[in-house]
Structure 1
């Protein structure tokens, strides 16, 4: 089930398997809108895009106050 607190926790921990498992029911549901022959490829492409975005999201995290202060000093 898509739960924002579980998703945020998985992103913070870098648990990519859990991230995909959170999105899996939604992906499977929406794959029914495409032809059977293309479902597997599309599922893989969606998983790749989700992981790319999560890695990018993780990289965009702002530093904590103390990390920012240490960066300014050094």
Structure 2
């Protein structure tokens, strides 16, 4: 379960969202905030405002996976 309340960070503005799914895909046009949202949900970035909970816990406390558009170009590999 992903629960987002009053999230505001850069271009991302989500007043209320609850997703009860095991696998989630984030799609949208260039510049729409997909990477920013995933960075917040993975705990890489802290939101300026609002809360994100994964399984009722903060993102940094949950083990999650993230495969980007280019899996060979990640934070670990240039």
Establish whether TM, by shorter chain, passes 0.5.
no
Say which structure is richer in helix: 1
Q: Which has the higher contact order (CA 8 A, sep 6+)?
A: 2
Say which structure is richer in strand: 2
Provide TM-score, normalisation by structure 1: 0.28
Provide TM-score, normalisation by structure 2: 0.27
